[in-house]
Amino acid sequence: MYIRKPYFFAEKKTGILLPMFLFIILSYGVVANEYQPAEPVLSYSLANQLIVIDPGHGGFDPGAWRGELMEKNITLPISKKLQQHLSQAGAIVVMLREEDKDLAGEQFKGSLKERKRQDLKARVDEANRLKADLYISIHTNADPSPRWYGAQTFYNAHSEESKIMAECVQDELTRILGNTKRKAKPGSYYIIDKTEMPAVIVEVGFLSHPAEAKLLNDPAYQNKVAYAVFSGIVNYQASQMEPVDKSDKKIVTGSDIAK
């Protein structure tokens, strides 16, 4: 049987192309690991976890906007990148939207305010119906003043698990992004008040801050944000795993096997 060799292994060019290929692979590894956790990530803790990702706004509702930048067009790509990280770690991921639309339904005929209320209810209802393990809502922030910046995570003050997850996510946003000193903060918002599982809102930055808005529109930075959120979720899940009590484990020796 004849097996065609990849071009970079062609016999006459191996001396040149193979080193070039290895250089590209190694270079990619350096870039990919630029913001990897210092300690091994226990991503196996996400295996078979059902995680709902909620890309904020969509359709008739642009969310915050400055100039040509709209919140709904920032939250979706970040959410898709987060979905990819989580899926690769073995989680079962449900995206509440994968295109520019809301969840109120095409047949809804109410006012814009009523449609927004229906949209939020549909998001919460779907997560509760699925009995999701975690709920992650991605948003961007905005303020009349352009001075404010930095990603920040919010949680329901009555949910201790949500607080722990928010703190884990915020720690990773702080460590990986390197441009926020904000802390996880309690808040009262419909989606984190009504969901029946640990839930957080991640405000990934301020569109009202010119420099941060430019970053948030950059796919490379979006992936960095997504990875930070992913890493925070991993840390949260790992913290929830029951520690192994080594005192209960018997050390098996050769004499035990012989018996």
- What is the residue-averaged pLDDT of the chain? 82
Q: What is the dihedral of CA 123, 128, 133, 136, to 10 degrees?
A: 20
Q: Has residue 34 been placed in a domain? A: no
Q: What pLDDT is attached to residue 195?
A: 98
Q: What pLDDT is attached to residue 17?
A: 36
Tokens of 45: 């803790």
Tokens of 250: 């018997």
Tell me which amino acid residue 79 is.
Answer: S
**Domain of residue 103, residue span:** 43-241
Q: Has residue 181 been placed in a domain? A: yes
- What are the pLDDT digits (tens) for 16-53? 333 333 333 333 333 345 555 434 445 678 989 999 99
**% of the chain residues with pLDDT over 90:** 70
Q: What pLDDT is attached to residue 222?
A: 98
Could you give the CA distance from residue 199 to residue 160 in angstroms, rounded to a whole number?
10
Q: Has residue 248 been placed in a domain? A: no
- What are the pLDDT digits (tens) for 158-190? 999 999 999 999 999 999 999 999 999 999 999
Q: What pLDDT is attached to residue 35?
A: 57
Q: Has residue 198 been placed in a domain? A: yes
Q: Has residue 87 been placed in a domain? A: yes
**Overall residue count recorded for the chain in this entry:** 259
Q: Has residue 4 been placed in a domain? A: no
Question: In the chain, how many domains are there?
Answer: 1
Contact by Cβ (8 Å): 184, 170:
yes
DSSP result, 82-132:
HHHHHHHTT-EEEES-SSS--SS-TT--S-HHHHHHHHHHHHHHHHHHHT-
Q: Has residue 18 been placed in a domain? A: no
Whichever domain contains 194, its CATH number is 3.40.630.40
Q: Has residue 106 been placed in a domain? A: yes
Could you give the CA distance from residue 139 to residue 64 in angstroms, rounded to a whole number?
9
Q: What pLDDT is attached to residue 106?
A: 83
Q: What pLDDT is attached to residue 27?
A: 33
